[in-house]
Structure 1
Amino acid sequence: MTKAASAAAKDLAAAGVSGVHLAWADNNGIPRSRIVPIGGLADAAARGVGVTSLFAVFDSHDVITYDQPVLPTPSGDVRLVPVVERLRRLSGQRALAWAPGRQLAADGSPWPYCQRAVLERQVEAAARRGLTLLAGYELEFAVAPAGSADVESAPGHGGPAYSPHALVPLDDFIAALLHDLDANGLRIGQVHAEYGLAQVELTLAATDPVSAADDQLLARQTIHAAAHAHGLRVSFAPLVAPRAAGNGWHLHTSIWRGGDNLLSGTGERPGPEGAAYLAGLLRELPAVAAVTAPSVPSGLRLRPGYFAGAYAFWGVENREAPLRYVPGSELLGPGHANVELKPSDASANPYLALAVVLAAGTAGIEQGLTPPEPIAQDPGTWTARERSARGIERLPASPAEQDAALRGSAVVPEVLGADLLAAFRAVRASDAAWAAGKEAAEIVHAHLWRY
């Protein structure tokens, strides 16, 4: 790996690159990084770069919480090691390159708080069962002029939703973004003006889970840089205004055995193993959502009628369903079949999000679970009695409800491991303490530019 890093550094230096972002995401979904000079890349690949172990207990507001038993002091250091095979020159930041990082203990051994390693373990466990996952993100974000205090008072576009006219004022930004995404090795399906306030959406092509998480982080870096270069700033926050439609980072997954997509089936139903995968996700959905949409504004976003997936059920192409089954078709082919997770946003660590989704779904396959009947309506319009008769409950939206769901799951705590689970819960508790007594508008504003 050191030899490959040396060769890459030589090529990058010749192209004018001065430094490399070594990037990871913390337990709040916030990207963090260290920049090493290009001449230091090979050494970083061999020995890593020192970072404090306390990043595991940073909350969403950069407060370090010691209110947990596993990292109770400021003492300690870990090594951040670049994943050289994922190294990219940043098209929109020509003097810089980017690589995701692994977090190792100071002696080079595995560190239990490394989120990337958690996902890698789940991918390996699935592979031992003959299963592979494909995953792709839809990224929603709001656009505002650079220097804006918020999006609501200075929206970057005024709609109409889905209209080509909406993006005309953003032509230069969109053109640069399409160029930079491609140059950075990111394949996208589409980009368009979305439904929400000054909202834009782009879709990342499906790939293996670890690459999908890496791609999500690289896409953020690419979007931020393109926006800055064109006098704009973007917000990936779950909500950009209390009453606006939120930014979901919908996660599409399909589960495969060999060359067969298990989610393909007949008509609008997946085959037996695909149905079991979906049933596993549904069973663990409260705890999964506590990881995939974990922040206080995530809970504020989780409202009926906003296509956010507020109630625990699944449906076929139902955009109110937190688990939206998208069947294959004669036009698209059986490989297109997938499940979209709607309670997912930028405040989730993408590696942990994919790890718990993969574990929950494969547990359903291992246990031969069967999902209930799909629902085509919006349960938010039903009476409480009607929902109770169908066994449909709200997903946890408050920090206390999310914590209870985490602790009550038989799958998710095992995926995270005792140490990381304790750190994750401590961070969520610190966020909850910060938000206690605050109005929704203040909570939303404090998270606007964090991701």
Structure 2
Amino acid sequence: MPDNPPDLAARVTELRRQGVVGVTIVWADNNGIPRSRTVPIAALEQVAERGVGVTAVFPVFDSHDGITFAYEGLSTPSGDVRLIPVVDRLVALRGQPGFAWAVGRQVAADGTPWPYDQRSILAGQVAAAAKRGLRIQAGWELEFVLFPSDARTLPASPAYSPAALLSVDEFAADLLRDLDANGLRIGQLHAEYGPAQFELSLAVADPLRAADDQLLARQTIHAAARAHGLRASFAPMVTTQGAGNGWHLHSSVWRDGRNLLPGTGDHGLSPEGEGYLAGLLRELPALTALTAPSVPSTARLRPGAWSSAYAVWGVQNREAALRYIPGTPLLGADQANVELKPSDASANPYLALAGVIAAGLAGIEEKLSLPAPVQDNPGAWSAEQRAAADVRRLPATPAEQATALEASTLLRAALGPAAYGAFRAVRDADRAWAAERPAEEVVEAHLWKY
């Protein structure tokens, strides 16, 4: 077990001075749903050393708070693990006076590593990149819909308009203040395409911090919404026909302070940059089982919705599942990154990013090459045109996702057999639950999970 940082006692004293009485320790389960424990501020130093007990079966909670015992490794309700706060991520929450927040990691009862801890799985992939002299940078764009607490929807305003943001003006101002006070850097906040839909872009960071920031941003948005009589939903689908909420994942790969994506090769890519994208493209059908894993996720990934229904890449093509964004003379070559569009809030951010890194590293190592980019909407092509270009549909059902992930030895190895077994059991349980219900009920059941 790591020793407490030398300044923890001083930080506790400062938190007390700010009026903090409790610390909420948060992790994300295999449905992307944040779970937590809150401890008194007086207990933080002890909890930072010894953790707080949680049941061992959280990895087999499904999206509806059911517990599946279909995975043999977690087939009984017995067992306990320790949740340890990452005190380097400790922050007093501006929007929740009296509370501080920290992300947590899970260890076995004796303090040894626990194979189901998703944050540790991501740390393993970060270490694998470091062994190759590589560093990954990542960040999310978060789409969400705001509802009045006493109504089903907000009045629609023109997409991307200041009028839409004006309708929640006080909320937006407080949210920006809260994000800044909570240590979250953002690129922009704006009204999105759907009715009452908004988007927030988080600044890029190292993978662990990026995933932590995603969880903290959720907490910050929910608290700001509540303070203004609103409710925020990050659910992949808000209605069966709506635009849906994506949480697009941007990433880049670096060596010795230089972004490896841009270069003088085809489409402005370096050989290693091409390998990174090609690795993502090869694993894309299986990768979406980690990045967009819920039953409503597959409903969102449909043609013509800018949510990416086909396994293609393109340069600045918003219909492509992998959108390469080159650097420009204005921004600089190092701003180049790749956006993974079939991604949403139902993904565990640590597992999603671990899968991205594993796929990208493999593409670099194997020197994979890319096919020609797709620069228009393949959903508008005929079936014959798509077949001629070898453009294939991404998995359109949870069962197809499960088959694709099972076939990916790379991604299963990145998760490890234990975490993969639990993840697969949860997805099977969700699929069975949804099979007996109409689409409207499935969407409604997920609306306030995120």
Band of TM-score, shorter chain? over 0.9
1:180 aligns with 2:178: yes
One-letter code aligned to 1:440: A
| Offset of residue 157 of structure 1 | 4.5
CA distance in structure 1 between the partners assigned to 2:387 and 2:268 by the alignment: 24
Q: Tell me the alpha carbon deviations over residues 245-273 of structure 1, each in whole angstroms, 9 at most, x when there is no partner.
A: 01000000011111111111248321110
Matched with 1:77 is: 80
Q: Tell me the alpha carbon deviations over residues 9-42 of structure 1, each in whole angstroms, 9 at most, x when there is no partner.
A: 1210121000001000000000000000000101
| Offset of residue 438 of structure 1 | 1.8
CA distance in structure 1 between the partners assigned to 2:317 and 2:126 by the alignment: 29
Task: Give 1:97's match in structure 2, choosing from 100, 104, 112.
Answer: 100
Matched with 1:434 is: 433
One-letter code aligned to 2:406: R
One-letter code aligned to 2:353: L
Equivalent residues in 2 for 1:322-341 (5 A)?
Answer: 322-341=321-340
1:359 aligns with 2:358: yes
1:253 aligns with 2:251: yes
CA distance in structure 1 between the partners assigned to 2:355 and 2:331 by the alignment: 28
1:293 aligns with 2:319: no
CA distance in structure 2 between the partners assigned to 1:306 and 1:397 by the alignment: 14
CA distance in structure 2 between the partners assigned to 1:5 and 1:18 by the alignment: 16
Q: What secondary structure is seen at the aligned counterpart in 1 of 2:405?
A: helix
CA distance in structure 1 between the partners assigned to 2:298 and 2:90 by the alignment: 35
CA distance in structure 2 between the partners assigned to 1:110 and 1:68 by the alignment: 20
- For the Cα contact (< 8 Å) 1:173–1:230, is it kept in 2? yes
Q: Tell me the alpha carbon deviations over residues 334-375 of structure 1, each in whole angstroms, 9 at most, x when there is no partner.
A: 111000000000000000010000110010000000011101
One-letter code aligned to 1:27: N
Q: What secondary structure is seen at the aligned counterpart in 1 of 2:242?
A: coil
Q: What secondary structure is seen at the aligned counterpart in 2 of 1:347?
A: coil
CA distance in structure 2 between the partners assigned to 1:14 and 1:167 by the alignment: 35
One-letter code aligned to 2:76: T
Matched with 1:151 is: none
| Offset of residue 426 of structure 1 | 0.3
**5+ unaligned residues in a row in structure 1: which ranges?**
149-153
Matched with 2:395 is: 396
One-letter code aligned to 2:252: S
| Offset of residue 4 of structure 1 | 3.3
CA distance in structure 2 between the partners assigned to 1:48 and 1:233 by the alignment: 32
1:308 aligns with 2:311: no
| Offset of residue 449 of structure 1 | 0.6
- For the Cα contact (< 8 Å) 1:309–1:322, is it kept in 2? yes
1:156 aligns with 2:149: no
CA distance in structure 2 between the partners assigned to 1:389 and 1:245 by the alignment: 29
Q: Tell me the alpha carbon deviations over residues 257-300 of structure 1, each in whole angstroms, 9 at most, x when there is no partner.
A: 11111111248321110000000000000111100000000011
- For the Cα contact (< 8 Å) 1:103–1:114, is it kept in 2? yes
- For the Cα contact (< 8 Å) 1:157–1:167, is it kept in 2? no
- For the Cα contact (< 8 Å) 1:5–1:45, is it kept in 2? no
1:65 aligns with 2:68: yes
CA distance in structure 1 between the partners assigned to 2:158 and 2:263 by the alignment: 37
Equivalent residues in 2 for 1:257-272 (5 A)?
Answer: 257-266=255-264, 268-272=267-271
Matched with 1:28 is: 31
CA distance in structure 2 between the partners assigned to 1:248 and 1:59 by the alignment: 21
CA distance in structure 2 between the partners assigned to 1:73 and 1:242 by the alignment: 36
- For the Cα contact (< 8 Å) 1:4–1:84, is it kept in 2? no
One-letter code aligned to 2:21: S
CA distance in structure 2 between the partners assigned to 1:408 and 1:291 by the alignment: 13
How many residue pairs get aligned? The number is 446
The alignment's TM-score, normalised by the length of structure 1, stands at: 0.98
| Offset of residue 133 of structure 1 | 0.6
Matched with 2:215 is: 217
Q: What secondary structure is seen at the aligned counterpart in 2 of 1:428?
A: helix
One-letter code aligned to 2:66: V
Task: Give 2:119's match in structure 1, choosing from 116, 119, 123.
Answer: 116
CA distance in structure 2 between the partners assigned to 1:41 and 1:176 by the alignment: 28
CA-atom RMSD in angstroms = 1.0
One-letter code aligned to 1:382: W
CA distance in structure 2 between the partners assigned to 1:156 and 1:10 by the alignment: 43
1:420 aligns with 2:423: no
Q: Tell me the alpha carbon deviations over residues 48-91 of structure 1, each in whole angstroms, 9 at most, x when there is no partner.
A: 00000110000000000011111000000000000001101001
Q: What secondary structure is seen at the aligned counterpart in 2 of 1:340?
A: strand
Q: Which runs of at least 4 in structure 1 moved beyond 4 Å after TM superposition?
A: none
Q: Tell me the alpha carbon deviations over residues 368-390 of structure 1, each in whole angstroms, 9 at most, x when there is no partner.
A: 00011101011111111111111
Matched with 2:51 is: 48
